[in-house]
């Protein structure tokens, strides 16, 4: 049995056999934390800030709820008006059907002439659809809508002409006028009527409503930033001594700011969920009266609820708004929190 080699002899033997020489592993300084430790500390700091913010809000449930309720009402106002405008636009029908062109034929035009004219009009590139209404159908509709059924029956002959209802592909005043002139030149056509004035009025009203909603939303966003900022400022004042001690022992501005940012985001989250609930309940409560009113006019119109995408956007926007408001409030008062 051979004698045991010392470590130096063993290393020389390994080098002769072709093995790479051993190099001493670099020693990491004991006072330098690893990336995993830093990341874990960062997560733990955020978790502690979030738990602390939740605990402080839970200590004042009534005040926290009413703060979220005020923010929720301010958020629900522009969102509710926007949803009502969308329903109003849907109630007015599609723009194409709202701008139909009525082509009245001469009284001596037969149903066959009307069908041929309808096919010719439907083949035009600027026309989406064309519907033929015979003289008998026009008379029946007029009798049902006017309430003069018995008086019209006493007439010696039907005074109403046949007509073709034309639905254009797009709504443009110049293009519609060109279509109207082209239809007026067709054979057997007596008159072409284009009633676009009320459509333009409805469009102007909707655009005015959109601008009003945008302006109202902008003003309310500024007001909400002030509300959230003032709320966070009160929390800062209540914790002034604690923050001064933290900064005295080396706490960074980010460490001081973090709990208040979470608090602002939590206020926004609660307000967004409350605003979604308020809008859903309000539209459902209003929908009953709308359905009854629409039923009196023979319509099945009903208000659409809050779309899921809009509700999620509302909640995310509220969280972002709370975060920004808290950031502005802390940034404004951070310089005052230095220990004296």
Tell me how many degrees the CA angle 299-305-311 measures, rounded to the nearest 5. 160
Instruction: Count the helix, strand and coil residues of the chain and give each as a percent rounded to the nearest 5.
Output: 70, 5, 25
- Give kind and range of the element (H or E) at residue 193: strand 189-194
Lowest average pLDDT, out of 2-11, 44-53, 230-239, goes to: 2-11
Q: Label the pairing between strands 127-133 and 163-168.
A: antiparallel
Check residue 19 and give its pLDDT: 42
Lowest average pLDDT, out of 26-40, 49-63, 96-110, goes to: 26-40
Check residue 227 and give its pLDDT: 86
Cα distance between the two ends of the chain? 78
pLDDT, one tens digit per residue, over 190-219 is 888 876 676 677 777 878 888 888 888 888
Q: Which of 163, 202, 199, 200 is nearest to 183 (CA)?
A: 163
Domain 102-193 class?
A: alpha beta
Check residue 277 and give its pLDDT: 93
Q: Which of 253, 267, 320 is nearest to 54 (CA)?
A: 267
Check residue 266 and give its pLDDT: 92
Tell me how many degrees the CA angle 24-29-30 measures, rounded to the nearest 5. 120
| CA 264 to chain CA centroid, nearest Å | 22
- Looking up tokens 């200590």 gives 59
| CA 95 to chain CA centroid, nearest Å | 22
Check residue 2 and give its pLDDT: 45
pLDDT, one tens digit per residue, over 288-330 is 888 888 777 666 778 888 888 988 999 999 999 999 988 988 8
Out of 46-50, 152-156, 283-287, the most confident range is 283-287
pTM over 0.85: no
Q: Residue 152 burial (CB < 10 Å; 0-12/13-18/19+)?
A: middle
User: How far, in Å, CA of 2 to CA of 43, rounded?
Assistant: 57
Look at residue 157 and tell me whether its pLDDT is greater than 80. Answer: no
**Cβ proximity of 106 and 190 under 8 Å:** yes
Show the DSSP H helices in 162-239 as ranges: 173-184, 197-238
> What share of the chain in percent tops pLDDT 70?
79
Look at residue 145 and tell me whether its pLDDT is greater than 60. Answer: yes
Look at residue 8 and tell me whether its pLDDT is greater than 80. Answer: no
* pLDDT band of 86, cuts 50, 70, 90: confident
Check residue 3 and give its pLDDT: 47
Structural domain boundaries in the chain: 45-93+201-337, 102-193
Higher pLDDT, 241 or 116: 116
Higher pLDDT, 319 or 173: 319
Q: What is the mean pLDDT of residues 262-282?
A: 92
The beta-carbon contacts of 89-96 under 8 Å, at least 24 apart in sequence, are 89/206, 90/301, 90/304, 91/301, 92/202, 95/171, 95/199, 96/128, 96/167, 96/168, 96/169, 96/170, 96/171
Lowest average pLDDT, out of 98-102, 265-269, 286-290, goes to: 98-102
Q: What is the mean pLDDT of residues 237-241?
A: 80
User: How is residue 296 written in tokens?
Assistant: 């009196």
User: How is residue 82 written in tokens?
Assistant: 């926007």
> What share of the chain in percent tops pLDDT 90?
9
Lowest average pLDDT, out of 139-153, 240-254, 316-330, goes to: 139-153
CB atoms within 10 A of CB 273: 16
CB atoms within 10 A of CB 311: 19
Helix (H, G, I), strand (E, B) or coil at 164: strand
């Amino acid at each position: 049995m051979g004698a045991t080699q010392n470590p130096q002899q063993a290393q020389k033997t390994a080098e002769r056999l072709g093995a790479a020489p051993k190099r001493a592993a670099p020693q990491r300084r004991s006072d330098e934390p690893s990336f995993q430790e830093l990341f874990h500390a960062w997560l733990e700091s955020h978790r502690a800030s979030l738990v602390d913010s939740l605990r402080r809000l839970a200590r004042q449930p009534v005040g926290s709820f009413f703060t979220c309720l005020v923010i929720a009402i301010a958020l629900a106002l522009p969102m509710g008006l926007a949803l009502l405008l969308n329903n109003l636009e849907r109630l007015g029908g599609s723009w194409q059907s709202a701008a139909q062109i009525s082509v009245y034929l001469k009284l001596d035009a037969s149903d066959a002439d009307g069908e041929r004219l309808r096919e010719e009009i439907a083949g035009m590139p600027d026309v989406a659809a064309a519907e033929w209404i015979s003289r008998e159908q026009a008379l029946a509709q007029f009798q049902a809508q006017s309430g003069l059924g018995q008086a019209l029956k006493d007439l010696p002959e039907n005074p109403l002409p046949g007509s073709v209802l034309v639905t254009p592909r797009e709504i443009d005043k110049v293009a519609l006028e060109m279509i109207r002139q082209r239809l007026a030149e067709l054979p057997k056509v007596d008159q072409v009527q284009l009633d676009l004035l009320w459509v333009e009025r409805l469009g102007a009203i909707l655009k005015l409503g959109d601008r009003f909603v945008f302006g109202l939303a902008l003003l309310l966003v500024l007001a909400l930033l002030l509300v959230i900022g003032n709320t966070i400022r009160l929390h800062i004042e209540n914790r002034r001594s604690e923050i001064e001690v933290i900064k005295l022992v080396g706490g960074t501005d980010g460490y001081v700011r973090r709990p208040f940012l979470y608090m602002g985001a939590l206020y926004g989250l609660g307000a967004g969920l409350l605003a979604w609930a308020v809008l859903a309940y309000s539209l459902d409560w209003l929908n009953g009266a709308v359905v009854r009113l629409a039923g009196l006019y023979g319509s099945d119109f009903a208000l659409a609820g809050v779309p899921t995408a809009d509700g999620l956007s509302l909640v995310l926007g509220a969280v972002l708004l709370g975060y920004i408001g808290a950031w502005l409030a802390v940034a404004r008062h951070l310089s005052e929190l230095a220990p004296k």
